[in-house]
Structure 1
């Protein structure tokens, strides 16, 4: 058996084995690229506000208190929009996951005890809406994309293994496509839309596959980070020579008398954050009440091609910072890891990159379909000829 026949065998049967999962993951991935934009399209009253001239943003503690009134669970996540988005709401979330040892059942929704997302007008303090994230369309799409809506440890293994097989099919497909000369190359870069169905299907498979190859490889490689810890560790090792310590230390001597103190200290923390970054691209605040800790990640443009962010840890009892990890202090591996999601969805290159990722995802979804049609057509043709 020649090397080309081995590649054809691998391309065909590995593609058939992983095709259904690749199709599902690619379709859901294409949808999730524009998750934020689509959510705003379907829920405009939840995410946009109209600010009067000179109207100031309310203290964060007041907005948090108003959000707390509409949920029975403690607020522990705050999402602040970019300073350029003056018409955007502040988002408050109450989220609690079930400990891994207590997870039962096979589906992903068994991992979350509760998850409310509340949208607040930062100028009036009015609660504009609340959703149960577990039943939200885009959250379900994401869980199908990452885990096929199965339990995390089960679904991530299936998805990750299928994506690894997909990478092999991409590489073997490129080998099979590679032309002998320039004349053949020109022919293989064009789709003959006037051809009969079988030829058109073949062109769609090989030509679109070639054009999407590099983007598809980037999407697949970055996606594996969420499926396999060894893959993430390997990239860290290639960039840093080891897996860096990304943990954030806790404040000293935590206590349990801080529910009242956190209300006051939240505004002190916010004042310090605003002084550090008067202009930003969004802020994520994680309130860890059980250890009197608030982790604040501030996203900004920075003079870098990476997705830049600075992280600070505050003591919720007094509002004072005690830990920081700035963008300039991060290792190469840490910069990559913080940018991995933006690379995965094309956001690293702005709106243009997101459209490229969207189109590439649709092409990836089409490859198992056109590939199956090629295989089935040839198999059916052989049977017909024998009869």
Structure 2
């Protein structure tokens, strides 16, 4: 179910993800984001915006808190459509999938039993899949051909047997891919070994994390200054409104906006990347993702000067470090979206067959026990 979470959410909440009317051009970025900022408490600020290539899709505006909070905004009217929240159903499915509904100890001490059980079960799944291949492998090509057929006209026992054997073989590659990538989230020792197979040290990932943390701290400092400007600007505007005649329609955004160059950055990146999927902009950084096969988290990254809007650094995906690429590939292979909708559907079917394997296996085993006793 998690494979199609986005599609299900968009189907049921189209009013949240899409605008009602697509107009000729959206509001300028600085005016739009300042309009959103005026609806937020003083302790919360706008930290970024993600823009889809689909003109009918609402902008996703990121907030400083709580963690990963964002709003969907109609870019043509400035209307805040609602919060980006994971539905209770999919949150339940995610926690069941990852941790069997267990919760991490706040002090990060002791054993995270839900995570451990999922990890051990996945290791056993890998063993069962590989051992199943060894036991099943036919001796001749003719036997191989016959064993890959599913017959539904020779009784239930034959059908369940064929589904277990042939269905398991058809789903094998996808099940192994899901299991082997999923283990990287369960065991640090496995993740270290997995990365080493591809020539990447986990320490590089940690070092990158420190760099990202340092960059995040710099952005937080800038955003704190922007929030201070916002509070000062609100006070200035309040004073101006108190002294301003009712018919005065001067620009209410006269105070310097932290988003003043974001529209310019977006326009540049859109011209440079006409086939973009999404452009994301935050204070001093931007990224461009594409609709391509492979790593679905791949993106070109840019840094820009917040004082003049000039690009200061460009990091194209092909030149980025291996650790970041591997993390993106692990996720893309695990959820099956590396090949678009086609591989996602195959992954979904393989997961269903994988869930049926223990049921069909126990059915055949019980039938065999009954037959032996008779």
The residue that corresponds to 1:128 in the other structure is: 81
User: Are residue 259 (structure 1) and residue 227 (structure 2) matched?
Assistant: yes
Contact 2:50 2:59 in 1 (8 A): yes
TM normalised by structure 2 equals: 0.75
> Offset of 1:60 from its aligned partner?
5.4
After superposition, the Cα gap between the structure-2 partners of 1:68 and 1:171, relative to the gap in structure 1 and judged at 3 Å, is farther
After superposition, the Cα gap between the structure-2 partners of 1:268 and 1:131, relative to the gap in structure 1 and judged at 3 Å, is closer
Contact 2:200 2:322 in 1 (8 A): no
After superposition, the Cα gap between the structure-2 partners of 1:136 and 1:77, relative to the gap in structure 1 and judged at 3 Å, is farther
> For 1:284 and 1:295, how far apart are their aligned partners in 2?
8
The residue that corresponds to 1:354 in the other structure is: 344
User: Are residue 217 (structure 1) and residue 176 (structure 2) matched?
Assistant: yes
User: Are residue 174 (structure 1) and residue 142 (structure 2) matched?
Assistant: no
User: Equivalent of 1:147, from 93, 99, 103?
Assistant: 99
Give 1 or 2 for the bigger CA radius of gyration: 2
Secondary structure of the equivalent of 1:264?
coil
> Offset of 1:75 from its aligned partner?
5.2
Secondary structure of the equivalent of 2:25?
coil
After superposition, the Cα gap between the structure-2 partners of 1:310 and 1:187, relative to the gap in structure 1 and judged at 3 Å, is same
The residue that corresponds to 2:278 in the other structure is: 282
> Offset of 1:145 from its aligned partner?
1.8
Contact 1:89 1:121 in 2 (8 A): yes
Correspondence list, 1:1-387, <5 A: 31-59=1-29, 62-63=32-33, 65-66=35-36, 69=39, 74=44, 78=48, 80-83=50-53, 85-94=54-63, 116-130=69-83, 132-133=85-86, 136-152=88-104, 153-243=112-202, 244=204, 245-247=207-209, 248=212, 249-250=214-215, 251=218, 254=221, 256-261=224-229, 264-269=257-262, 271-278=264-271, 279=273, 280-284=276-280, 296-300=286-290, 305-307=294-296, 308-312=298-302, 325-382=315-372, 384-385=373-374
> For 1:64 and 1:143, how far apart are their aligned partners in 2?
36
Contact 2:168 2:354 in 1 (8 A): yes
The structure whose RCO (Cα within 8 Å, separation 6+) is larger is 1
> For 2:144 and 2:155, how far apart are their aligned partners in 1?
21
Contact 2:26 2:76 in 1 (8 A): yes
When structure 1 is superposed on structure 2, of 351-360 and 325-334 the one drifting more is 325-334
The residue that corresponds to 2:240 in the other structure is: none
Deviations 1:94-118 (A, max 9, x none): 576xxxxxxxxxxxxxxxx777543
> Offset of 1:268 from its aligned partner?
2.2
> For 1:260 and 1:319, how far apart are their aligned partners in 2?
21
Secondary structure of the equivalent of 1:179?
coil
> For 1:230 and 1:324, how far apart are their aligned partners in 2?
34
Contact 1:265 1:318 in 2 (8 A): no
Contact 1:115 1:132 in 2 (8 A): no
> For 1:365 and 1:296, how far apart are their aligned partners in 2?
41
> For 2:329 and 2:21, how far apart are their aligned partners in 1?
32
* Unmatched runs of 5 consecutive residues or more in structure 1: 1-30, 97-112, 288-292
> For 1:319 and 1:218, how far apart are their aligned partners in 2?
43
After superposition, the Cα gap between the structure-2 partners of 1:275 and 1:358, relative to the gap in structure 1 and judged at 3 Å, is same
